[in-house]
């Protein structure tokens, strides 16, 4: 009769193997899914120490030792959603799902009506929120503020240009006039902003005076002659160049206090000329760097490999909105599956270890991408055939034992 029990144990383990393989195959297209392998061990009747049979032991079948989870890397596929994130390497996303802390590798995210980053199950993604562009330091649900970005008044402006040293100087004693191009050699304009985000046209004029060598007088005007109730134009100062045509280091000219007609906070603009030159070639502007900007609305989100989430605004600016963190475990294979692509920690898995992506052995993140299931269908289908054969063979053992028993009973 023991043969029946042995064969039944084989049928049971083969059935478990088929269930595990079937589950793997059914989740071949589940994002972030990790396949499992059924592992077996043999079974023997217990023997009293020192009394083991000398003619060897006959086993009593097999049993499922464990269903081992396989956390090998899945392929990374691109998507069109900037909030989709794939983990390349170790770690799990952490979620607040209905008040419970769970973990997973499925990085298909979206924003809910309150701006929280959530997955398809409504789990809120955990990370480090940012306040005014700076990470707050405490982990919590990531919430994206979709309001307007406040404007910033221009306080500093760096103009990198070349002023033609070979140009004909303006006659000594000539009074500058923005409306008279014969009183200056070159001019350029750029936009600056007040504290309300209103744009203003700042024009600068460059005058090479006879006998001045490589010194240029610099003048300015704001919105031509209108747009302010305070200083609208004037002389910024002198811009000296060396005999080799390079500007003296640290040159910064100040407009003085500007009182804006729209009621914005009075401000001044420091105009720097780092990198500027005065060579015998056509005058031209190479670049302008303005630290002011208008108000802007959120137009897009971007996530870098370190998990930093940046908001991109209609005014061309970007701001740090938070950071996605990753969590790993000393023994992730002992995490317990909770369904919905989630895992929960157990005593055997160890405590969660949370940190920034790419640090402490954690993987990096790739935005606009997801990690595919790590199920290899070809291997699973071959294993399915092997499991089926094992089931059939154990069934044949029962059939054979039954035939032997029937022979015995017929004696």
pLDDT digits (tens, 9 = 90+) for 63-89: 888 888 999 999 999 999 999 999 999
Higher pLDDT, 320 or 229: 320
* pLDDT of amino acid 116: 96
Summarize the confidence of residues 102-119 as an average pLDDT. Answer: 96
The domain in which residue 280 lies consists of 156-290
Mean pLDDT for the chain overall: 88
Candidate from 13-27, 206-220, 226-240, 259-273 with smallest mean pLDDT: 226-240
* pLDDT of amino acid 212: 57
- Is the domain of 257 the same as that of 164? yes
Given 290, 310, 340, the domain boundary residue is: 290
363, pLDDT greater than 90: yes
Summarize the confidence of residues 274-292 as an average pLDDT. Answer: 95
Measured distance CA(341)–CA(361) in Å, rounded:
23
Which CATH number covers residue 174? Answer: 2.60.98.20
Measured distance CA(57)–CA(296) in Å, rounded:
79
- Is the domain of 139 the same as that of 196? no
- Is the domain of 239 the same as that of 354? no
Read off the pLDDT band of 406 (50, 70, 90): confident
- Is the domain of 191 the same as that of 282? yes
- Is the domain of 88 the same as that of 119? yes
Summarize the confidence of residues 110-124 as an average pLDDT. Answer: 95
- Is the domain of 248 the same as that of 174? yes
- Is the domain of 68 the same as that of 80? no
Summarize the confidence of residues 387-398 as an average pLDDT. Answer: 80
Strands 308-313, 353-355: pairing is unpaired
pLDDT digit string (tens) for 19-61?
A: 999 999 999 999 999 999 988 888 777 655 555 565 666 777 7
Candidate from 57-61, 161-165, 277-281 with smallest mean pLDDT: 57-61
* pLDDT of amino acid 228: 46
322, pLDDT greater than 80: yes
Tokens 């502007």 belong to 285
């Amino acid at each position: 009769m023991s043969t029946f029990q042995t064969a039944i144990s084989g049928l049971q383990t083969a059935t478990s193997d088929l269930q595990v393989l079937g589950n793997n195959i059914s989740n071949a297209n589940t994002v972030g899914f990790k396949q499992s392998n059924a592992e077996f061990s043999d079974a023997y009747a217990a023997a009293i120490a020192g009394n083991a049979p000398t003619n060897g032991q006959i086993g009593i079948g097999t049993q499922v030792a464990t269903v081992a989870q396989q956390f090998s890397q899945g392929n990374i596929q691109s998507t069109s959603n900037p909030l989709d994130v794939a983990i390349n390497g170790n770690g799990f996303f952490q979620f607040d799902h209905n008040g419970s802390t769970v973990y997973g590798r499925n990085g298909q995210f979206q924003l809910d009506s309150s701006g929280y980053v959530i997955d398809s199950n409504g789990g809120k993604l955990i990370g480090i929120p940012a306040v005014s562009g700076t990470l707050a330091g405490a982990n919590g649900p990531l919430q994206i503020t979709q309001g307007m970005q406040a404007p910033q008044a221009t306080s500093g402006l760096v103009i990198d240009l070349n002023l033609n040293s070979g140009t004909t100087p303006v006659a000594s004693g000539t009074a500058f006039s923005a409306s008279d191009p014969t009183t200056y050699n070159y001019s350029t304009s750029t936009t600056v902003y007040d504290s309300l985000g209103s744009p203003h046209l700042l024009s600068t004029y460059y005058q090479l005076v006879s006998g001045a060598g490589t010194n240029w007088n610099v003048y300015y005007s704001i919105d031509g002659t209108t747009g302010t109730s305070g200083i609208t134009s004037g002389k910024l100062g002198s811009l000296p160049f060396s005999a080799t045509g390079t500007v003296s280091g640290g040159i910064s000219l100040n407009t003085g206090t500007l009182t804006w007609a729209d009621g914005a906070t009075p401000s001044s603009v420091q105009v720097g000329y780092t990198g500027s030159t005065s060579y015998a070639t056509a005058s031209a502007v190479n670049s302008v760097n303005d630290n002011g900007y208008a108000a802007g609305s959120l137009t897009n989100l971007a996530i870098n490999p370190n998990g930093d989430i940046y908001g991109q605004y209609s005014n061309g600016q970007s701001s740090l909105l938070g950071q996605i963190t990753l969590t790993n475990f000393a023994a992730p294979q002992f995490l317990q599956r909770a369904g919905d692509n989630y895992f929960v920690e157990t005593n055997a898995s160890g405590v969660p270890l949370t940190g920034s992506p790419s640090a402490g052995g954690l993987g990096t993140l790739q935005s606009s991408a997801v990690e595919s299931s790590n199920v290899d269908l070809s291997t699973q289908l071959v294993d399915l055939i092997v499991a089926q054969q094992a089931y059939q063979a154990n069934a044949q053992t029962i059939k054979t034992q039954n035939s032997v028993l029937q022979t015995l009973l017929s004696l």
